[in-house]
Chain A
């Protein structure tokens, strides 16, 4: 039960972070990606802030054999730069630039009642389902990050 509570609370905290950072505003994301136009550098501060904290936690996590609650630490072991990684990142980047939504902010925005965000989430899950079919047919998939 402790885990269920922590997962809920971490999800809540993460969502609040997304809202505060401005990531849930596609206009802000596109403003950040528009380096040749009227550039809004805010999202670089989001990344910087997140990594400044995350770096210490993950350095610690790498050294630990179990979590503070005694469970296993699931860190990805696969480290090859392969075709699925590159093609996936290219397709994701294209979709991200097109609408300004990535998965987390789209889910939060949907929960706040944004109809277009809900439509985005619908098509995103459809895209994920299409991937599962594609993966069953061609066996491309390896690990999650």
Chain B
């Protein structure tokens, strides 16, 4: 293991994390909902009357974020995304993430942030599992293939 000091951003990542924690906290304490992105968007596919509005307004806010970010945040903090995967990998990854998060009832936000925060054993098991599989997949693709 070698630390990648060139890309290591402890302060902006910590600050970003605190903001993620703050928004998840506001969501449960004010709106009474778990802030889980896969559940919010996936629920739109099956939702009933009266269960759509909150999902849409949340998503509109999420979509506004990069635009507000460009106005508010100093350029040095906005990282240019490095998307190295080709379209085939993107398609397979998208299908896996979509199916997997719905099957497993959550993703990095619902299980990782909210689940761990509320000390849910189910979410801890899910988070450890998807992280271990993530380590494994990156190891296979970066170091074996």
Contact = CB atoms under 8 A, between A and B. Distances in A.
A24 B32 CA distance: 26
Given A57-B25, A74-B33, A107 B63 contact: yes
B66 A48 contact: no
Contacts of A121: 94
B93 A19 contact: no
Majority secondary structure of chain B interface residues (helix, strand, loop or mixed): helix
- Please classify how large the interface on chain A is, using the bins under 10, 10 to 19, 20 to 34, 35 or more: 35 or more
Given A19-B78, A132-B45, A145-B122, A54 B25 contact: yes
B90 to A, nearest CB: 5
A6 B26 CA distance: 8
Contacts, number: 520
Contacts of B10: 41-42, 45
A37 B87 CA distance: 24
B18 A53 contact: yes
B95 A124 contact: yes
A84 B103 contact: yes
Given A103-B109, A116-B90, A124-B94, 15 more contacts: A11-B65, A12-B65, A17-B20, A21-B13, A33-B134, A36-B1, A49-B13, A87-B104, A89-B100, A94-B100, A96-B137, A101-B97, A104-B109, A127-B100, A145-B123
Return the 9 tightest CB-CB contacts between A and B, nearest first.
A88-B104, A127-B98, A15-B65, A49-B17, A21-B16, A11-B61, A123-B94, A27-B82, A93-B133
